[in-house]
Amino acid sequence: MDNSSSHNLHVVMLSSPEAGHVVPVVALANRLAEQHHVRSTVLLVTTGAPSESKLMNPPRERGLVETIWLPPVDISNLVDPSTKMMTLMCLMMREAVPVVRSAIAAMDRLPDALIVVYFGTDSLQIASEFNMPKFILCTSTAWFLAMSVYFPILDEQMKGPFIDESGHLKIPGCKPVRHEDAVDMMMDRDDQQYHEYLRIGRGLSLSDGILVNTCEDLEAKTLQAFTENDAMNSVCKSPVYPIGPLTRPVESTGFQSDLMDWLDKQPNHSVLFVSFGSGGVLSAEQTLELACGLELSQQRFVWVIRPPKKGHVNDALFPDNIEGTEDDYLPEGFLNRTKNIGILVPTWGQQVEILAHPATGGFMSHCGWNSTLESIVSGVPIIAWPLYAEQRMNATFLVEELGVAVRPEVLPTKKVVGREEIEKMVRTLMEHKDGQGMRDRMMQLKTRATNGLNEGGSSHASMRKILSIIEAKKNATN
Ligand code: UDP
């Protein structure tokens, strides 16, 4: 393919402001530039909230990639304090359609394709208006995609306001989903986010293809359901392309150097990294138990710490956090007693760099899919601590399908995980042969998954198929 940008294919990508979407979108843009010489313009929907630039924290773009921060959309007249995060995201993406259209119309050369994150299906109509092929990027697993696309059928089967609390949700050709692992959005028919999720499920088939941030080596059976299962094919009309793992690359500059200096001095695989994603916040009681559990385990740790929530809920970032410094919510004397084995990183850490460091040997994670993939490509096994969205499915997948994680007996959203159980999980992962077995399996996965991205690999081939569809359409219209 020609390397000069005027002849390159040009793709526009649309992301929500969530870190979990921005990261894979920019990673896809960088991958298209580096491996396929495709030019990308990333459109970021914004709200103008002061915390946004921190949350979005977009990875660095390279070469043929340009990022445009769209003018903020105002959804204040559509929401109230009880509106859930998922609903906020969907409303924001829907209200952004006019600014997305204007941004595309203003481009000096019209793009050759539009790729939107799955919250952005309302913008697919713009691709039709400009006569270009349109794709959806699913930033989670193929298993989550299967459940989302099949959700309208589950909805028809459902009798009351809540999904059936007994047994499992059956998804054609896929591992059934335990009721307690189902995504929050499915839980209550009376909540707006339920209907937003239904809308997403229906919108997924409106595209020319769905790109999924997964690969054959991770989810062969589920991916097969999209090609071979008749019941699945009758609801998912768009072809599915596994193109992952798309992850943020390790940066060699600009990170917390004191932390890196400390990690450099620790033995290989000896440090547990503790972090709950861009928005995970624990309750005050859980934060205390976690600190005590880490201390009891006597393992080295790096903990991205946030002020806990008031009350008992382990959840996502909301403004009712306890104010004050770590001294106000950690056990008395904790900082002093753990100063030789642990480092606290307030609020936000350079996760990819920490996971890639040879000293890191385990990851206590909320199991957001980006964090999960970042752990896989670093070969680091996991203590699965799911909090919200589809993280409970991811945790089950890591434990039951891949065998690379341990998890608490009861979900951390249902019950505070006690210090003894935390100590046991940490020791299992960091000291025991079971943990070593998980590390070995992670290393094998890392090799297979990253090989798939190279020329001749399955994810590389999927990406080539998508690009040939775009090229064919471009040639037909020129
Ligand atoms: N992240 C980070 N530092 C932090 C917290 C999160 O760099 O302290 C990044 C993380 O590496 C990942 C993204 O933010 O790329 C979070 O995405 P994920 O899908 O794991 O979870 P979410 O935050 O969307 O629930």
DSSP class of residue 362 equals: E
Name the amino acid, one letter, at 428: T
pLDDT attached to residue 182:
92
386 lines ligand 1 (CB under 6 A): no
Q: Which atom of ligand 1 is nearest to the CA of 247?
A: 15
- Give residue 10's identity as a one-letter amino acid code: H
> What is the pLDDT, as a whole number, of residue 312?
56
Q: Is the peptide bond before 245 cis (omega within 30 degrees of 0)?
A: yes
Measured from the Cβ of residue 34, the count of other Cβ atoms closer than 10 Å reads 14
Best residue among 370, 374, 380, 388 to mutate for probing ligand 1, ranked by most atoms within 8 Å of CB: 370
- Which has the closest alpha carbon to 85: 275, 282, 318? 318
Query: Does the CB atom of residue 351 touch ligand 1 within 6 A?
Result: yes
Judged on CB neighbours under 10 Å (0-12, 13-18, 19+), 409 is exposed
* Residue among 278, 344, 367, 377 whose CB has most ligand 1 atoms within 8 A, to mutate: 278
Verify whether ligand 1 is closer than 6 Å to residue 279 (CB atom). Answer: yes
Non-local CB neighbours of 174 within 8 Å, separated by 6+ positions: 143, 146, 147, 221, 222, 225, 232
Measure the CA–CA gap between 372 and 357, rounded to whole angstroms: 16
The pLDDT value given to residue 1: 40
Amino acid at residue number 262: W
Our answer on whether the CB atom of 379 is closer than 6 Å to any ligand 1 atom is no
Whether the CB-CB separation of 40 and 29 falls below 8 Å is answered with: yes
Long-range contacts of 475-478, Cβ-Cβ distance < 8 Å, separation of 24 or more: 477/131
301 ligand 1 Cβ < 6 A:
no
Residue in 144, 213, 351 to alter for ligand 1 test, most ligand atoms within 8 A of Cβ? 351
pLDDT of residue 203: 93
As its CATH architecture, domain 5-244+454-477 has: 3-Layer(aba) Sandwich (3.40)
How many whole angstroms separate alpha carbon 294 and alpha carbon 393?
Answer: 25
Alpha carbon of 20 to ligand 1 centroid (Å):
6
Res 60: pLDDT:
57
Beta partners for residue 404, in sequence order: none
For 289-316, the pLDDT digits (tens) are: 999 999 999 999 999 999 887 665 555 5
Closest C-alpha among 70, 8, 45, 208 to residue 128: 208
**What's 328-382 look like in SS3?**
HHCCCCHHHHCCCCEEEEECCCCHHHHHHCCCEEEEEECCCHHHHHHHHHHCCCE
Instruction: Judge if the beta carbon of residue 275 lies within 6 A of ligand 1.
Output: yes
Residue extent(s) of CATH 3.40.50.2000 domains in the chain: 5-244+454-477, 257-450
- At 80 the pLDDT is 87
58 lines ligand 1 (CB under 6 A): no
Nearest CA to ligand 1 atom 24: 20
pLDDT at 347: 87
Q: Is 278 in the pocket of ligand 1 (CB under 6 A)?
A: yes
Cβ atoms of 286 and 314 closer than 8 Å: yes
Pocket mutation for ligand 1, best pick of 22, 259, 371, 387 (most atoms within 8 Å of C-beta): 371
What's the Rg (C-alpha) of the chain?
22
Angle at 87 between CA 111 and CA 147, to 5 degrees: 80
What Å distances lie between residue 231 and 150, 198, 223, 315, CA to CA? 9, 18, 14, 35
Which of ligand 1's atoms lies nearest the C-alpha of 371? 20
CA of 371 to the centre of ligand 1 (A): 6
Instruction: For residue 151, give the nearest of 102, 196, 115, 113 by alpha carbon.
Output: 196
Please provide the size of the chain in residues.
478
CA dihedral 426, 429, 432, 436 (to 10 degrees): -160
269: CB partners within 8 A, 6+ apart? 358, 359, 360, 361, 362, 430, 439
Q: Which residue has the tokens 């047994």?
A: 167
The structure tokens listed for 155 are 């909805």
Q: Residue 363 Cα, ligand 1 centroid: separation in angstroms?
A: 13
**Is the distance from the beta carbon of residue 348 to the nearest atom of ligand 1 less than 6 Å?**
yes
Structure tokens at 341: 């084995």
Q: Give the 3-state DSSP-derived string for 63-124, with helices as H, strands as E and coil as C.
A: CCEEEEECCCCCCHHHCCCCCCHHHHHHHHHHHCHHHHHHHHHCCCCCCCEEEEEHHHHHHH
> Alpha-carbon distance 394 to 2, whole Å?
40
Locate the ligand 1 atom nearest the alpha carbon of residue 367 and give its number.
Answer: 20
Closest CA to 367 of 145, 119, 178, 140: 140
Angle at 224 between CA 459 and CA 153, to 5 degrees: 120
At the topology level, CATH places domain 257-450 in Rossmann fold (3.40.50)
The neighbouring-strand residues paired with 305 are 346
Give pLDDT < 50 ranges for the chain: 1-4, 54-57, 317-318
The pLDDT value given to residue 328: 81
> Rounded to the nearest 5 degrees, what angle is found at the Cα of 437, between the Cα atoms of 434 and 443?
145
Residue nearest (by alpha carbon) to ligand 1 atom 2: 351
447 contacts 222 by C-beta, under 8 angstroms: no
